[in-house]
Amino acid sequence: MKQIRDQKSKIKGGFGKKIGEVVEASSAEFVAQCYKLDEAPPLGSIVKTQDNLAAIYGVVFDVETHSLEPGRRVVARGENLESEEDIFKANPQLARLLTTDFKVLVVGHVEGKSFRHYLPPKSASIHSFVYMCQLEEVGTFTQSMDFLSLIVNAKIDVPVDEVVAACLRHACQAHDDRVAFMVKAGKELARMFSGDANRLNSLLKRIK
122 is an interface residue for other proteins by CB under 8 A: no
- Name the segment binding other proteins (CB under 8 A); options: 28-36, 94-102, 107-115, 180-188: 180-188
> How far is Cα 76 from Cα 59, in angstroms, rounded to an integer?
32
**Closer to other proteins at the Cβ: 105 or 172?**
172
Query: Helix, strand, or coil here: 167?
Result: helix
How many residues contact other proteins, by CB under 8 A? 18
DSSP string, 81-149: -SSHHHHHHH-TTHHHHEEEEEEEEEEEEEETTEEE-S--SSPPPTT-EEEEPPHHHHHHHTTS-THHH
- Name the segment binding other proteins (CB under 8 A); options: 30-38, 98-106, 132-140, 185-193: 185-193
Residue 62: C-alpha distances to residues 31, 101, 105, 154 (Å): 9, 8, 9, 13
For the bound state, the minimum distance from the C-beta of residue 183 to other proteins, rounded and expressed in Å, comes to: 5
For the bound state, the minimum distance from the C-beta of residue 150 to other proteins, rounded and expressed in Å, comes to: 20
89 is an interface residue for other proteins by CB under 8 A: no
For the bound state, the minimum distance from the C-beta of residue 161 to other proteins, rounded and expressed in Å, comes to: 15
186 is an interface residue for other proteins by CB under 8 A: yes
